[in-house]
Structure formats: structure tokens, C-alpha cells
Amino acid sequence: MKSAFVTVGSTSFDELILSVTSNSVIQIFRELGFEKLVLQIGRGLVRPEPCTFGDFTLEVFQYKDSIAEEIQRADLVISHAGAGSCLETLGAGKPLLVVVNDQLMDNHQLELARQLHRDGHLYYCTCKTLADTMKSMDLSALKPFLPGKTEEFAIFMDRIVGLEKVD
Amino acid sequence: GGHTTEILRLMESLSPCYNPRHYVIAETDTMSKDKICCLEVSRKYKYAEQEYTIHKIPRSREVHQSWSSTLLTTLHSLLYSGPLVFTLKPDLILCNGPGTCVPLCISALLLGVLGIKRILIVYVESICRVEKLSLSGKILYYLSDYFLVQWPNLKEKYPRSIYLGRVV
């Protein structure tokens, strides 16, 4: 069953939840072959009722300890631009569409989405452009995202604290 | 959310020599504790004799909080971070940008200025910061011993920073 997972992270993103559950966007999901939509709504005030209509299922939850399973099960992840969700999704090798919240005070999240989009790893849009982006995106064109160089960081740290290995 | 994920990835890579570990999180943060415990439990299987503690301090700034009230809440955080740093006297503070780290680093600097202990401050700017530094980053750019950025644009704009590539 082709499913999409929408995550808003640790806070809320009511505008996104409203957008993805709007009739027009649900229609786009169906046209793209999706049969299931799972929403992680955080502490949002917009709380759609989970339901099934025809061959389309809507699941809703606020938080889980880990969204790794939801990401694994999804064929598409639609996420707020938080680093955690983005990195987790890209790390799992799943197609990612980031929706930037233009209501936030200082929209630094846009910088990351824009850069990762430039590097070909995800698509990004705002709630207003969500429908158009979903219709035009080509998920197979996305490039794999390599994990960060944590070993380089560890080597750097060992050097500066004086733990460098002596050969 | 994001800050915790990033710092835990960094912590995962560190050798068992970085022990004991003290995690400082904001009082109102309900999610980080579980993530930290998860990581530490897996470390326990890999390495012997690992110790960790989680400390809570008032958040310097909530998401969406006004800047004027942020000054007051930061001063309030200092009242907690000061005694905490003074008691723990860590060798190293590793932070990555949530408002909570600023009062901690200021307290660490104070300990140095008072001749009590020289604490190494390593700041790793979030992967989210591609073109501009965060507010914590701007403050700690001059106050930290090592300031890491994860995108080349920032290395150009902030020459004092260190660029190892994306580390998270």
C-alpha cells in the first residue's frame, strides 16, 4: 500500500496539516497512487479525525518516541524543515518533500531546505505551493544523501583535547 | 528536536574517554531525555564503565518568544547554569546552539576568568545554518575555543570558524 507520512516535528504546523487534508491535496495523493496518509501533528490545534473513505486511509497521531518506523513504511515523507526530520528521512533513503513554515519568526529552516534542494536531495515548498509541487515533482530524480563525517569530528575532538593516538 | 538529534550524532562518534557525560537540557524539553537514554544504553553495551547524568535548567528562550523577554529568561537561566558549571567543573563543554547553551558557556567563561577552571568550549553550529549563524552562534563565535560550521559559505563569512564538512 503506497503511503505518505507527514511530520511537523516537536512543535506544531497547523497550516501544513490543513493543507495536506484539504480536498484538493487529498485528490492529488490519490492521483499519485497513494492509499494511506499518516499525520504526525505534534501539539497542533488542528486535529483531523482518523478515518477511511473508500480505498484511502487517514491515520493521525501527536507524538511517538521514534518516527523511524513511520519513515520506513512511507513511500513519501512530507516534513517541516527541522533538521531532525530531514536528516532522519534522508538517512533512511526516503523521498522527501519539505514544507517551510513561513510564519516562523526567523525562517532559518529555509536555508537548509534550499541548500539540500540545490544539492538535489529533496523538494521543498510552502503550504501555498504544496499542491503544485506535488503535481510536478519527480521523486526518482532525487540524489542519495550520504551520512555526515562523524569520524572526522571524533578525530578532531581527540586532537584538541589531547587524546590523539601516538603511533 | 533538531538540536538533540544533531548533538547525539556527535556524541555517538566520541570515544569512551569522554566520561562521565553530563547532559544539560531545558526544563520544558520533554523529548530529549528519552533520546539521550537510548544512546547511553547502547554505549553501555559497547563500552564498560560509562557514566552519564541529565541536568535540567530553565530554557533561555522558547520558540516564538519575544526578544525582550528573552533577556530576562536568559538571566534566570544563568542563576541555574552558574552553580551547575561551578559544581561539575567539566573539562569540556560541547554545544550546538539551543538557547540553553549560552548561559552555560558564559558560566564556563566566568570560571576561567575567576581562575577556578579553564573549560574548553566547542561549539558546532547546526546543519540548519547554511548562510547565517544562529543567535547562539553569533554570541559564541567569539567566546568559544573552537567553532565548527558545516557549510562552506559560513567558513568564508566567519574565518575564525573550522570547517570539516558536514559532521552530523
Name which of A7-11, A84-88, B92-96 the model is least confident about.
Answer: A84-88
Region of poorest pLDDT, from A99-113, A116-130, B5-19, B132-146: A99-113
Percent of chain A with pLDDT over 70: 95
Please report residues of A whose CB lies closer than 8 A to that of B92.
161
Distance between CA atoms of residues A62 and B52, nearest Å: 30
| CA nearest to A159, candidates B97, B105, B146 | B146
Q: Which of A71-75, B7-11, B73-77 has the lowest mean pLDDT?
A: B73-77
* 3-state DSSP assignment of residue B151: coil
For residues A149-155, give the mean pLDDT.
Answer: 95
Mean of the pLDDT values across residues B134-155? 95
Beta carbons of A148 and B130 less than 8 Å apart = no
> Are A88 and B146 an interchain contact pair (Cβ–Cβ within 8 Å)?
no
Sign of CA dihedral A77, A83, A88, A91: positive
State the DSSP code for A140. Answer: G
For B113-131, letters b (16+ CB in 10 Å) and e give eeeeeebbbbbbbbbbbbe
What's the confidence (pLDDT) of residue A108?
A: 66
Q: What is the pLDDT of residues B26-73, one digit of tens each?
A: 888 888 999 899 999 998 888 888 899 999 988 777 766 777 787 888
pLDDT-based confidence at residue B74 (cuts at 50, 70, 90): confident
pLDDT-derived band at A10 (thresholds 50, 70, 90) equals confident
Closest CA to A80 of B129, B31, B2: B2
> What pLDDT, on the 0 to 100 scale, is given for residue B30?
81
The nearest alpha carbon in chain B to A110 belongs to B128
The ipTM (two decimal places) reads 0.92
The CA-based dihedral angle spanning residues B91, B74, B159, A121, taken in that order and rounded to the nearest 10 degrees: 100
**Chain A residues with CB within 8 Å of chain B CB:** 9-11, 63, 65, 81-85, 87-88, 104-105, 108-109, 111-112, 114-115, 148-154, 156-158, 160-161, 163
Instruction: Give the whole-angstrom CA distance, residue A63 versus residue A39.
Output: 10
Interface of B with A in 115-154 (CB under 8 A): 120, 122, 124, 126-132, 134, 145-146, 148, 150-151
Query: Could you tell me if B42 and B8 are in contact, meaning their C-beta atoms sit under 8 angstroms apart?
Result: no
H helices present in B98-167, as ranges? 101-113, 135-143, 152-157
Instruction: Check residue A94 and give its pLDDT.
Output: 97
**Mean pLDDT of the region A139-155:** 93
HSE toward the beta carbon, residue B73, CA cutoff 13 A: 17
User: Best residue in B128, B146, B157 to probe A by mutation, most A CBs within 10 Å?
Assistant: B128
Closest residue to A83, CB basis, from B12, B127, B131: B127
Amino acid at B71: L
By Cβ distance, the residue of A84, A104, A151 closest to B13 is A151
pLDDT grade for A153, boundaries at 50, 70 and 90 = very high
How far A137 CA lies from chain B's nearest CA (Å)?
Answer: 23
pLDDT of residue A9: 87
What is the phi-psi region of residue A151: left when phi exceeds 0, alpha when psi lies from -120 to 50, beta otherwise? alpha
Residue A166 is predicted with a pLDDT of 60
d(CA A27, CA A64): 28
The average pLDDT across B105-110 equals 96
- Which of B14, B126, B168 is nearest residue A157 as measured by Cβ atoms? B14
Nearest chain A Cα to B165, which residue?
A: A149
Query: Taking 80 as the threshold, does the pLDDT of residue B86 lie above it?
Result: yes
Query: Which residues from chain B sit within 8 angstroms of residue A161, using beta carbons?
Result: 18, 91-92, 120
The Cα–Cα gap between B79 and B81 comes to: 6
pLDDT at residue B72 in the model: 84
Edge-to-edge strand list for the sheet holding B120-124: B92-95, B120-124, B146-149, B162-163
**pTM beyond 0.80:** no
- Write down the mean pLDDT value for chain B: 91
pLDDT exceeds cutoff 60 at A17 = yes
pLDDT confidence tier of residue B18, bands split at 50, 70 and 90: very high
Instruction: pLDDT band for A3, please (50, 70, 90 cuts).
Output: very high
The SS3 call for residue A161 is helix
Helix (H, G, I), strand (E, B) or coil at A105: coil
Instruction: Give the pLDDT confidence of A102-128 residue by residue, as tens digits.
Output: 877 656 667 888 899 999 999 989 999
> Rounded to a whole number, what is the distance in Å from the CA of A56 to chain B's nearest CA?
31
By Cβ distance, the residue of B1, B134, B150 closest to A9 is B1
Q: Cβ contact (<8 Å) for A160 and B166? A: no
